[in-house]
């Protein structure tokens, strides 16, 4: 089977990128922007909150190695899907939780997994993860790509991203490369 692509927004794209880069079967992760109305936005424009875009990652994966449903379970486990427009100290619509589906099959799977997570009791508050069709994805500036791997010693990486990766390894160690 050919590779597939999914687009996910779970707060800061540096965090989300680092998580998905570590999964066996993931071939490529690109940080970028989607879900808004501005063509080819810049990081500064997205941070203004005026573009409507979310920071997101586009994940290319081999579904024979890691199924789409499994990617979604990792997504829900490694960010807080119950906070509207916020992940930790990152606040604004650009930090919303969202799944941008590529086709009807992805939409159905995303609805199913989101419902299961919401009904599981894992969170005290309801899941607010948005589901929307992918319209356009704009890759972020080059300095945002592969951020954690190039800046692991940076304080934000140590305080915010490294704990997410520990959570990933604890919950999904068998899936990591």
Give catalytic residues, as residue numbers: 12
Residue 128's CB is within 10 A of a number of other CB atoms, namely 18
Residue 46's CB is within 10 A of a number of other CB atoms, namely 24
Select from 19, 92, 112, 24 the least CA-distant residue to 57: 19
- Dist CA 101 CA 68 (whole Å): 11
Asked whether the CA dihedral 61, 148, 163, 53 is positive or negative, the reply is negative
């Amino acid at each position: 089977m050919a590779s597939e692509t999914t687009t996910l927004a779970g707060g800061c794209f540096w965090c989300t990128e680092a998580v998905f880069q570590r999964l066996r079967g993931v071939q490529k992760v690109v940080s970028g922007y989607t879900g808004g109305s501005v063509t080819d936005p810049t990081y500064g424009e997205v941070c203004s909150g005026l573009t409507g875009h979310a920071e997101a990652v586009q994940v290319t994966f081999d579904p024979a190695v890691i199924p789409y449903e499994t990617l979604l379970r990792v997504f829900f486990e490694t960010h807080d899907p119950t906070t509207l427009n916020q992940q930790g100290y990152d606040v604004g619509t650009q930090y919303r939780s969202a799944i941008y589906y590529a086709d009807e099959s992805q939409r159905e799977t995303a609805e199913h997994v989101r419902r299961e997570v919401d009904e599981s009791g894992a969170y005290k508050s309801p899941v607010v993860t948005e589901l929307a069709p992918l319209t356009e994805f704009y890759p972020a500036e080059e300095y945002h790509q592969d951020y954690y791997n190039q800046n692991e010693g940076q304080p934000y990486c140590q305080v915010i991203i490294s704990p997410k990766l520990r959570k990933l390894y604890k919950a999904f160690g068998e899936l990591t490369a």
